[in-house]
Chains A and B, each alone.
Chain A
C-alpha cells in the first residue's frame, strides 16, 4: 500500500472495497489468514457480551459438495416458486434484454446461484447460541467483521444464507455438521482468492435513507 491513509480513511476504504465474491481460484486459505478472519469475528460486539457465535471450518471437498448441494437445492426451490408466481418477472422488470433475462432466471431457478459454495476452498459455518437475547444481531456483527477482514487481506468472501434460510435445509445442515439443538446455523461465509476484480454494486443515496427527527423528513437534500 503506497498511499498514506488515516485510520478513518483506511476503514472506509476496506468497507467500500468489500464485494460478494463467488468465483475463487483453487489456492487454499492459509491458517494465518483464517486466524485473522476468526479473530475479527471474535472481536464483534454482542448483547450482554454473550459472544454466542461458534464457527465450523469446512475445507473437506466432499463436505463442500454437500454444502453446495444444500444451498443450490434451497435456492432452486425458492427462486422457482418466485418464477412460477411471476414475482421474479416483476423483480427484473427493468432488465429488458431477453437473453440476459433468461440467463438470470435460469441461474436463479436452477439454484446455480448458490452452488458456488462447493467451489469455495473454505467455508466458515456461523452458528449462534439460542439461549441468549440478541443472537441474530450478534452473529451478523461477527460476520460483517469477517467480511471486512477478508477484504483487508485481499481475499474474497460471500455471506450465504441460502443453505439455512429454510428450516428444512437448516436441519440438513445441522445433521451434516452435527450442530447441537441449542445452536442455530445462521449463515455460511465462503472464502477464497478471487479470480478477478469485481465492480461495486449500486447503493441507494443517503437522501433516500436518512430522515430528520421523524420518518419521512429527508435529512439530506436530494443528490444532484
Chain B
C-alpha cells in the first residue's frame, strides 16, 4: 500500500487517539507540548526557505502548499493589529477536531496553524501563539497572536 492509499479515516482515528492520549496525560498543558507537530513536514517541504516579507505572504504561501497537497481546500486570513485570524476550510483533519468537540474538549492542536507559526517565527522573527481553535460551520477558526519582537534568546 502506498502512502497515498492510507485511509483517511484510519489516519485521523490514529491521530485522534494520539492527541487524546496527550490530553489524558497532560490535560490543558497538552497544547504546549504539541507546538512543534508538523516540523518534519515543514523541513521536508523546505518551508523554512519560504520567501516572504509579510504575514499575508507567509499565510498565503503556506496555504497554497497545503492546497496543492490536498490537505486543505482553502485558508483565509484576516489580520487585526497583532491578532491573526485564519479560517481553514476543508481540512483533511477536521474529523479529529469534531471528535474532541463531541467529547467536550476544546481542540488544542492544528498542523496548518503550527506550520504558519513556524514560518512566521522563521521568516519574520515574530513570536506567535496559537490562542484558540474553534470549529464553526464545518471550518476551523484559528486565532493567533503575533508579538513584535523575539522575546527569547
Residues of the A chain whose Cβ atoms lie less than 8 Å from the Cβ of B147: 76-77, 80
Q: How far is the CA of A168 from the CA of B34 in the complex (A)?
A: 9
What chain A residues lie within 8 Å of B150 (beta carbons)? 73
Residue pair B153, A81 in contact (C-beta under 8 Å):
no
B131 and A81 form a contact (CB under 8 A): yes
The residue of chain A having its C-beta at the shortest distance from the C-beta of B32 within the complex is A166
Q: Which of A64-72, A127-135, A143-151, A212-220 contacts B (4 or more CB under 8 A)?
A: A64-72
Question: A77 and B143: CB pair below 8 A?
Answer: no
Q: Would you call B145 an interface residue if the criterion is a C-beta within 8 Å of the partner chain's C-beta atoms?
A: yes
B151: interface (CB < 8 Å): yes
Q: Which of B122-151 contact A (CB under 8 A)?
A: 127-132, 143, 145, 147, 150-151
- Chain B contacts of A82 at CB under 8 A? 131
Distance in angstroms between the alpha carbons of A81 and B29 in the assembled complex:
14
Could you say which residues of chain A place their CB within 8 Å of the CB of B151?
69, 72-73, 76-77, 111
Please determine whether A73 and B127 come into contact, CB atoms closer than 8 angstroms.
yes
Tell me the interface secondary structure of chain B in the complex.
mixed
| Inter-chain contact A70/B32, CB cutoff 8 Å | no
Any A CB within 8 A of the CB of B36: yes
A81 to B130, CA, bound (A): 7
**A-side interface mostly:** helix
Shortest CB–CB separation between residue B133 and chain A, in angstroms? 10
Give the CA-CA distance A8 to B147 in the complex, in Å.
50
Given contacts A73-B127, A77-B147, A84-B145, contact A165 B29 (CB under 8 A): yes
Interface presence of A74 (CB below 8 A): yes
Known contacts A77-B127, A81-B131; A69/B152 CB under 8 A: yes
Q: Is the CB of B131 within 8 A of A84?
A: yes
Residues of A with C-beta under 8 A to B153:
66, 69-70, 172, 176
A residues contacting B by CB (< 8 A) are: 66, 69-70, 72-74, 76-78, 80-82, 84-85, 111, 165-169, 171-172, 176
Q: Which residues of B contact A (CB under 8 A)?
A: 29, 32-36, 83, 127-132, 143, 145, 147, 150-153
